[in-house]
Amino acid sequence: MEVDQVVPLPRLPRVAVCGGTHGNELSGVYLVRELLKLQREVMKKKQEEDSKPALVLLVLSNPRAMQQCRRYVDTDLNRCFTHATLNGPLSDMAPYEIIRARELNALLGPKGSPEAVDLVCDLHNTTANMGLCFIGYSDCDWICLHIFRHLQREMPDTPMRFLHFDVSNKESYSLDSVGKHGFAMEIGPQPHGVVRSNIYTAMKVGVQHMLDWVRLFNSGNVFEGGFVDVFTMVKHIDYPRDSETRNITAAIHPCLQDRDFCLLHPEDPLFQTFSGETVRYKGTEPLYPFFINECAYYEKGIALSLARKRRVTIPAIRVQTEQEQQANEQGFASEEEE
């Protein structure tokens, strides 16, 4: 790949912004509600003017969980978007979230099909001190990486990282995987069930810049190549637990708490037990901790996750011309026929 060469990529006519995939992560819930209100006003005005409304799909993903202000009702919705779960047999007793995942897949997908929306941005919060993170399954999705770099430039005061969950051995499972491109926008720290103005505003500004970028891209703007630091998830670490009760016996060490993305070295303090002892990091490689003390991960057995950082080169990109697009679609059609 030559950085100088401008890579033409398909247009992104249909973008979805989703909130409330976890019903107690409130920034996305209130932001999508606010955007829906604005969209209704704009559409009313545009109808009067008889012009075409903007195609941003605004989705409240898990209304039942939102109503109860819980992460989920029966099972974690954001783990339900594998092909097996979306397409397997469905009993009458199916968990609410599996039914809802299929509704969302019908609305935004089907996952992996040419009908899927072009980009899904799924809004999340964390209790960890992670700033604004993009979380994606690919470290070579130029669309997501360019959007990320755009936000980094436009929001220089917001700590921002690109997190890559490598699922090359298994399948992507989250809502954003339903789109042709997709990422979770994860912002913290914010307690679940609480909305903090600063976090809400960072998300609102981030979504605005994301939509601005898509408009610029679709209208033919050329985005220059460059570099993005990508954090690739390596492993999770669980809390020390009582062997009988499985209750945790320690909390994140005060020296590690809130220090997401600060390099953790072998023998650095990791936990402080409830009786006061320090438990140290026994790994051999310095790695970057993140999702430190995320509330929802106690039940998943994750006290923190660790990542390796590397610099990814991204090419210059622009939207395909109509000719390129047609050639591309014919290629897709002939692939389909095979």
**Binding stretches for a second copy (CB under 8 A):** 30-31, 33-34, 69, 127, 189, 191-198, 200-201, 247-248, 251-254, 257, 272, 274-275, 293, 295-296, 298-299
Q: Which is nearer to a second copy, 34 or 154 (CB)?
A: 34
Mark 245-265 as b/e (b = at least 16 C-beta within 10 Å): eeebbbbbbeebeebbbeebe
Q: Which residues contact 94 (CB under 8 A, 6 or more apart)?
A: none
Q: Which is nearer to a second copy, 273 or 325 (CB)?
A: 273
Is residue 95 within 8 A of residue 54, CB to CB? The reply is no
Q: Tell me the C-alpha distance between 80 and 99, whole Å.
A: 9
CB of residue 52 to a second copy, shortest distance in Å: 25
Longest distance between any two alpha carbons in the chain, whole Å: 69
Q: Which is nearer to a second copy, 216 or 279 (CB)?
A: 279
Q: Which is nearer to a second copy, 27 or 85 (CB)?
A: 27
Give me 126's structure tokens.
Answer: 């964390």
Least Cα distance to 112 among 167, 170, 179 occurs for 179
Which DSSP string do the residues of 163-202 spell out, in sequence order? EE---TTS---SGGGGSSEEEEEEEES--TT---HHHHHH
CB of residue 116 to a second copy, shortest distance in Å: 30
Q: Which is nearer to a second copy, 6 or 60 (CB)?
A: 60
CB of residue 299 to a second copy, shortest distance in Å: 8
Q: If you compute the radius of gyration of the chain from its CA atoms, what whole number of angstroms results?
A: 21
Give me 186's structure tokens.
Answer: 């994860």
CB of residue 196 to a second copy, shortest distance in Å: 6
The CA dihedral of 223, 227, 229, 232, to the nearest 10 degrees, is 80
Under DSSP, is residue 10 helix (H, G, I), strand (E, B) or coil?
A: coil
CB of residue 4 to a second copy, shortest distance in Å: 42
CB of residue 311 to a second copy, shortest distance in Å: 33
